Every structure is written in structure tokens, then in C-alpha cells.
Structure 1
């Protein structure tokens, strides 16, 4: 079954959102901008169904080659990322420590991401741009101290992330990774939001990252150290989750840093992150100018 795909996009200076269909995009922002300026407000109102009903039978307003993809939620209150969340990832650190009882977390800022089919930017400060393919969950119903049993009901939509990282900059201090995770446009989110319907969309789907067609990362969500339920419950213990919050849920083993010698991304490379039922997020690499 094909799931609906809602994308944020720009055409020249105008930003909008719509439903991706065969042959293009139905511009729903042109019809709903007064009520829902962006997909964040659509998520908050639980209005995907209303948008789908309006789009039924409509022809595309724009061809896909007319639009530039933007990150789906343009200004989330929070982007929280989970580190070391697949079994083999803990072993990669070679520190002799068992898998932790709780997830490692860090924050990213919206401008550290770009959209689908746009280049990830390698900064002049370092050549060590690396990829991390991940599944994104977008919160639709806020809450604090959410029980694991109820956690999935708080999800509005799914997306994908290439959680691009400047590796040597995550080692600039003893404990934090913030610097290496927040260079402008070093990562991507997209291509779109897929509304969340039921647990089968997340339970045991394949997540794969390819660089120039070569598979570098491949695993299944059923093997995650911390489940989607656990992640939502844990984060909501210390901070109130609100509609539009973005949670990036962890990457499998196989990032470029783990090769000997490491293989960093360079201009001309094409990175694809694919997950069953969600789609494929594709980006090239370019140097900052």
C-alpha cells in the first residue's frame, strides 16, 4: 500500500507544502495557508485527513522539477537525535562498555539540515563529512512523562534523515558532540512526511544507506537497542514534547568513519537513505562557497 506523502517545498521565493502524486505536487498550501501556514500546523491540528480529502481528484499544480524540497517541518521547537541505537554501533566504539540502559541524546538545529535532492555542504574547516541514515518520527500529540504503552499514539508522521556529521568536530571537547552535528546544511531531512497509521509502519522495517550505489548501512528497526516507544517515553520524562517536534532515532553500523582508513564524503558523491514504506532521501555533496 502506498502511503500519502506530504512535502514542504519552495518555488523561487515562495514556500509551500503539498501532496506528492504521480506527475507532480498538489499545492495544498495555496488552499490552506490561512489555517495551516506550514506542515507544522497541519501536524498540530491532526489535519492530514482533511488535506487528503481536498486533494482527492485534483491534478498536480506543479511538476516535481519545478519545486525545491525543503525540510518537512520548517521550524520545529525541538530536534532531538538518538545516538548508538543499533546493536553493532555500540561495539564500534571499542571501549569495552556494555550497551547503556538509556539512550544517548543530542540536539540539532533546523539550519543544520537541508532538503531532499539538495547538496549536503562540506565546510572548509574539515574534510570529515560523514553520513548516518536514520528514521525520523514527528510528534503529533504532545505530552510529558508519556507511558511506553501510549507512546506510538503521539506520533503524527514519519520521515528520513541523513544525520550528516563532521567527525573530528565531535571530538573537540570531552563529553559533547554538538559542534560536529550542527554545521549548516551538513545533514538532510525528507523527502516528505508519511502520516503514521499503525505500528506496522515501524515495527521491523529495513533501513539502508547507499553511497554511489554501494550499500554502506543496512539493518532493521526490530533490532534497535531502544524502541520507538522507549525513545518517546524517555525523552518526555525530562522535557514536554509538543506537536512538530522531530526525533531522529539512530543509525546502523557502517558510517564512513568506521572504515580503515575512513571514507569521507566528497563533492560528486550521491547518498541515498531508504526505508520501507517511507521512501528514499537522496543528496549530493558540495563544498561550501
Structure 2
């Protein structure tokens, strides 16, 4: 299956097809679709796949960007696995409704780039997740129709500054939106079959050690329900991203916590989608902090 990425090379931003040898730039062939957001809105991923056939690699030296630039909405589902709910040790049963919070595009970086730990607080944590990209707009979408609104899948490391999610009683926004604290990518995989999600297994590794390992089938709020619930109060638009929930095993839940430090390597892996890999770096060097 053809994979599509947004990337920077030679001082320019392109989108194109990913190969083992490098990128095939496709954006120059489609001036009416300036980014993958417009491609998705036009249901253009099949056209990109056709255009890539037989084409040579155009870029071997490149930098990944987040696949869909400037989506209108990035919505994240929190505490969506049974063991994650138990981690809070508050005795609560499965909630009636899902927890949601927004993230800004600026809070994410691309694959193979460092997650940034800010000088204000060093409780940078990882959360491996599957992200779905909306292709077909909709409002009040029925669960049984939800998958028809997905254009593509990608991966997310929903990096969090843990101390800052505790600054207020009812929100986590400020702890979830530090610039370049999380990542999305490395590419988009077209969504063609329910099995891509229903059978998906998420594995997150830190420096090669497995920290998270679970399947989407165990989520308390399945992706069909996420799309239905979210589209009840807001119209989903092409290019919108829903980050679907992380399994147990984030660093904050260890005793003592295992927060990320500069030099760490974090990998989020889902068979059939790929591996999202990032390092960790401080925003400023020691001499600047």
C-alpha cells in the first residue's frame, strides 16, 4: 500500500509517496492541491498513488513534517483503556462519556525529529496512539457509518508535560500543548479495511524497552463511537485528526516516574501503519537554560 508524507527538502515543503529509497515528490504535479489536507478533501489519495507508479525517487535527504499541515481540529481521547482508568486509583468505573481535549498543530513535530523538553518543567511523558484522519465531512455521524468518514491512518506520540496537566481542576490543555512536545507521522496510510483498526496492536518502546502494549479492541470507547460522539457537537472536516487513546504504561505511572530525558529514543509501532520514531532534546542547551 502506498504511503504518503509531508516533508521538507532543499528548503521547500513537498508531499509525496514514501519508498524505502526515499521520497517521490508529487505536489508539483497537483498545484490545485497545495497540501495533503486539500488532497484528502478531494478524495485524492488514489490519484496520488496512481501518479507515483513508476516514478523515480526525487529526494533522499529530507525532514518529515506532520502529515496533514494545519488541520482545523486535532481532538484527543483521554483515559480510553480499562487499565488506564484503573491507573487513576480513584475507584471509578468506566465513565459514561469519553474525555476529550484539543491539541494545536504547533504542539506536534514530525517523525525522526526530537520531542522538546521545556526548561519550565521536565515531566515530559510519552503516549503511543493511533490517529485517524477524517476524509469525508459529517455531523451527527452514526457509529455504523463512522469508518466511511476516515481517509487515512497515522501514528501519534501524544507527548505531555505531566505537571502542567494538574494546574487546574477541569482541564489538561496547557500540559498537552507545549510546542513540539509530541509527534505525528511518519506518514499517512490510506484506510481501506476495518481490520486495519479493529485488529491494531500498539507497542511503545523507550530505548528499546516495551512500555506500552495493547490492542484497540480493548478501548472503552471504540473509534466508531469516538467519531459519532465528536460529530454530535462539531462538524468533522477533511483533514481533522482524532487521536484515539493510549494504553497503560506511560512514564508517569511508574514508581518512581520514568519521564523522558534528552537522548531517549521513543518508538510507537503499529503493524500495517508503521513506526513513529523520535528522540528527545531540551529546548535550550544547558548553558542557555
Does TM, normalized by the shorter one, top 0.5?
yes
1:80 is aligned to 2:78: no
Per the alignment, residue 287 of structure 2 pairs with: none
1:277 is aligned to 2:268: no
Q: TM-score, normalised by structure 2?
A: 0.97
Between stretches 51-60 and 108-117, larger displacement belongs to 51-60
Q: TM-score, normalised by structure 1?
A: 0.97
Per the alignment, residue 37 of structure 1 pairs with: 34
**How many angstroms apart in 2 are the aligned matches of 1:22 and 1:134?**
24
**How many angstroms apart in 2 are the aligned matches of 1:12 and 1:163?**
29
Tell me, which stretches of 5 or more residues in structure 1 are unaligned?
none
Deviations 1:126-167 (A, max 9, x none): 110000000000000011000001000000000000000000
Per the alignment, residue 2 of structure 2 pairs with: 4
**How many angstroms apart in 2 are the aligned matches of 1:13 and 1:240?**
35
Tell me, which stretches of 5 or more residues in structure 2 are unaligned?
285-289
1:70 is aligned to 2:65: yes
3-state SS, counterpart of residue 55 of structure 2: coil
1:54 is aligned to 2:23: no
Per the alignment, residue 255 of structure 2 pairs with: 260
**How many angstroms apart in 2 are the aligned matches of 1:73 and 1:223?**
28
Give every structure 1 segment of 4 or more consecutive aligned residues whose post-TM-superposition deviation is greater than 2 Å.
none
Structural RMSD (CA): 0.7
Per the alignment, residue 136 of structure 2 pairs with: 141
Alpha-carbon distance, 1:105 to partner: 0.1
Instruction: Identify the match of residue 114 of structure 1 among 109, 113, 120.
Output: 109
**How many angstroms apart in 1 are the aligned matches of 2:266 and 2:28?**
32
Aligned length: 284
Per the alignment, residue 21 of structure 1 pairs with: 19
Per the alignment, residue 97 of structure 2 pairs with: 102
